Amino acid sequence: MWWKEAVIYELYVDKFAGDFVGLADKLNYLKDFGINCIHILPHYPSPMVDDGYDVSDYKGVRPELGTLEDFKKLTERAHAMGIKIIVDLVLNHASITHPLFLEASNKENSARNMFLWSKTGKEFPEAVNAFSKIKQKNWIWHPASGEYYFSTFYPEQADFNWGEPNVFDFFIDIMDFWVNNGTDGFRIDAASHIAKKDWTNCKGLPEAHAILMKLRAHIDKNYPDVVLLAEVHDGIQKTKDYFDRGAECHLTYNFFLNERTFLSFVRDDRSIFDNAVKDCEEIPPNSAWANFLRSHDEISLSGLVDSEKNEIIARFDPQGKYRFEAYTAMRLASMFKGDKKKIIAAFRMLFEAHGAHIIYYGDEIGMENEEIFAGEDMRRVVRGKFDWAKADIEKSNPSSLFSGIKGIIEEHAPGK
């Protein structure tokens, strides 16, 4: 179970290294830092409305990142260095430019039922509207089809109908494809949203768990060394359900601990973190938490009460400069105003928690928020180009942030 204590580095290929050839050339940097797994954020062809999470071809590589052959060479080189590769798998939705959705827009096409359509746009009235500041409702009018299609996130992302068996077969084929091309795992994007049912919030339904268990069964039967990492943000007990006695997802993001880590910093109260760690215990032995501080998304605090959320945001983003929906999007160095001691203290706490540990690219060298144009998706402030000049300086300095975090990784290496 290599993934139980993996040190995962999350990155955009283009922002970190330009393309897959460049990423292969940068593997020594990651190996030296102590990384043994890379999570590659969406690399698929895409209109890039949602920075790649609007997929238009699940078996392709975005041309600016290289070719499928470049991807395969990367995985071969990474494996030779003891580094695993995880890719994103966007199960909930596809781009409205995806050929399958274009086919489904024709009411007579057999692909029609692979997406959710409505003549009235009144179904699922209680469903989560994840981007309520961007669209008023989840049903989006499609003029060519003469009906509405359902969209949980951006309007340009159409949700799949997982009640249609062909959707499962479609994604099994995709998973097989990428494993055969060197992939060691899949991050299941928006895992809790994939099933829909009227008069529910369409989140964390039993039907979603059943789908994930079927995917796990396929993986266990055919690729026992491949891992599923679920993106789920819910209460601690509901999140544990995604392990489901060790038969669902191998890893699940630990949003519960993430929120309380920041709350402990804001209140200068270590007990908040320690108690949260205890609450995360009692999971199946063949499962593990994926612990993290930051990611490519906003700092989601939905597991806290309003007063706690406001307390955290007021400390880190008091002017509301980086607000995204109800929360804020910030890199660690921007949150802690470049205070190296606080950033290292946060990483030290992170690595005290049992499980896998995720480092977001650039946080190890103190990269700060980007400036973006007004009206852009605010999450892009944490998605800037990696600063290699700064990285070279950090690596050569034994008292740098990079060296401090590297030391923490070494302290917690298996067998230490």
Q: What is the pLDDT at residue 259?
A: 98
Model confidence at 374, pLDDT cuts 50, 70, 90, reads confident
Q: What is the pLDDT of residues 191-221, one digit of tens each?
A: 999 999 999 999 999 999 999 999 999 999 9
Every domain of the chain with CATH number 3.20.20.80 lies at 2-92+164-411
Q: What is the pLDDT of residues 100-148, one digit of tens each?
A: 999 999 999 999 999 999 999 999 999 999 999 999 999 999 999 999 9
Q: What is the pLDDT at residue 414?
A: 80
Considering 88, 189, 317, 363, which one is annotated as catalytic? 189
- Across-strand partners of 217? none
Q: What is the pLDDT of residues 22-77, one digit of tens each?
A: 999 999 999 999 999 999 999 999 999 999 999 999 999 999 999 999 999 999 99
Every domain of the chain with CATH number 3.90.400.10 lies at 93-159
Q: What is the pLDDT at residue 136?
A: 96
HSE, CB side, 13 Å, CA atoms: give it for residue 369.
Answer: 23
> What is the reported pTM?
0.97
CB 245 within 8 A of CB 217: no
Q: What is the pLDDT of residues 235-247, one digit of tens each?
A: 999 999 999 999 9
Q: What is the pLDDT at residue 302?
A: 94
CB 228 within 8 A of CB 184: no
CATH top-level class of 2-92+164-411: alpha beta
Q: What is the pLDDT of residues 151-171, one digit of tens each?
A: 999 999 999 999 999 999 999
Name the residue with tokens 């906003």: 298
Q: What is the pLDDT at residue 416?
A: 66
In 3D space, the residue among 300, 165, 312, 157 whose CA is nearest the CA of residue 231 turns out to be: 300
Q: What is the pLDDT of residues 252-301, one digit of tens each?
A: 999 999 999 999 999 999 999 999 999 999 999 999 999 999 999 999 99
Query: Considering just the CA atoms, what is the radius of gyration of the chain in Å?
Result: 21
Q: Is the pLDDT of residue 415 over 90?
A: no
410 in active site = no
Q: What percent of the chain has pLDDT over 70?
A: 100
Model confidence at 20, pLDDT cuts 50, 70, 90, reads very high
C-alpha to C-alpha distance for 325 and 379, rounded to whole angstroms: 10
234 in active site = no
CB 187 within 8 A of CB 292: no
Mean pLDDT value across the chain:
97
- DSSP letters spanning 327-342: EE---HHHHTTT-HHH
- Across-strand partners of 186? 87, 228
| Tokens found for residue 244 | 């489901």
Q: What is the pLDDT of residues 66-95, one digit of tens each?
A: 999 999 999 999 999 999 999 999 999 999
Q: Which one-letter DSSP state was computed for residue 6?
A: -
C-alpha to C-alpha distance for 341 and 79, rounded to whole angstroms: 34
CATH 3.90.400.10 fits 93-159, yes or no: yes
C-alpha to C-alpha distance for 94 and 100, rounded to whole angstroms: 9
Considering 10, 231, 259, 363, which one is annotated as catalytic? 231
| Tokens found for residue 3 | 């993934």
